[in-house]
Amino acid sequence: MFGYIKKIWTDPVWSKVIATGIIAIFVTFAALFTHILTAAFFMRVLTEPVPFWGLLAALGILLLLLPYWWRTIGKKKSELHVAWHGSAGWGTGGILQKDGGMERVLRIQGQTVITSSFLEEPVFITGIDLKDAEYAGPNFQMFEVKPGTMIRQSLLLNFRGVKPTKGEAFKANLTFVDIKGKRYPLKPALLRAFPGEDLPQTEPPKPKPIINTAWRFNSWCWAQVGSEKVVRIVSEGMMQFTNVPKRFIITAAHVNGLETVGAFDGFPVEQDQASYRSISLSIKGFSPVGQVSIKAAIILTDLQGNEYPLKEETFTPYDEPTRWVGGLAWPRD
């Protein structure tokens, strides 16, 4: 009831009507008590007649509010209904993790028919919850439900935190969530267990990226970046990426445990295509003494943050660093 009263009060039209009604009632009582200031105050309150115009004003306001109150109080709650196809059920699914492992989760899937009742406007369903469980992904397939219409929707849902009894039907208490955060509890659905539900229905693990390199040279020198003197390593030669997305962009590089400074020249990568590349990296943390060889393993990073480690290489001192890579001249002995 409190919710209905709050909705009426916050309505932009009826809030003004209510305010007018309050003012009218105040005027009526003001007319009633204008001359009731004697010692017999309470007795006069009970016997003083109300002015006829006051009664008409109060009755008019009441008649205006009555239809809206009746419609609001008698309004039914919007609901969504889901009918599962007989082939729907539950089983154990697998979700691939970033480290290459597989997480076992409860998987509910099947064809559904979704209808609504007392829906005043279309709703856009953006999420789903299962009682005492956590949605495990992948991203929920969003859909729209319109008043008075029926839609067919295929659902594939993964949840963690709940383990149904093996081989038995599972009672699923699901709740749809729309784009405004409103929740639509569904009637519990009794879903059959898929045959062999104890075996994970896993996706084959993705092969790890392979980076083939044929470097023309790997060299290093000292360089000046701002006010700092750092080591600059350069690898130049042919590169080929396999077991990777069709096309992506390398945007950064680093060496584990060392800080990268200065700009990095990114480059696009085409799957299985060999290209001639030059990788130049200015790093802090190296302190080689003299013109000696150093070792480093470069890790490339793409635009999505995925890392592609390269093999550790031996970098020899540049003969003429000032001429080729903008480095500092070697100190003369």
Beta bridge partners of 157: 108
Strand partners, 214: 238
Instruction: Give residue limits of the domains in the chain.
Output: 2-73, 79-193, 210-324
- In our burial notation (b when 16+ CB lie closer than 10 A, e otherwise), range 151-164 reads eeeebebbbbeeeb
- Strand 313-317, strand 210-225: pairing: parallel
DSSP H stretches of helix in the chain: 2-10, 14-33, 41-47, 52-73, 321-324
For the domain bounded by 210-324, which CATH number is listed?
A: 2.60.40
Residue 118 is encoded by which pair of tokens?
Answer: 């007392």
Domain 79-193 has CATH 2.40.128: no
Question: Do 79-193 and 210-324 show the same overall fold?
Answer: yes
For 169-228, what is each residue's pLDDT tens digit?
Answer: 888 889 989 988 889 988 888 888 887 554 444 445 667 888 999 999 999 999 988 888
Q: Which of 113, 94, 204 is nearest to 158 (CA)?
A: 94
Kindly indicate the confidence band of residue 233, based on its pLDDT and cuts at 50, 70 and 90: very high
Predicted confidence (pLDDT) per residue in 104-159, tens digit: 888 888 888 988 888 888 998 888 888 888 888 777 788 888 888 888 888 888 88
Provide mean pLDDT across the span 244-271. Answer: 89
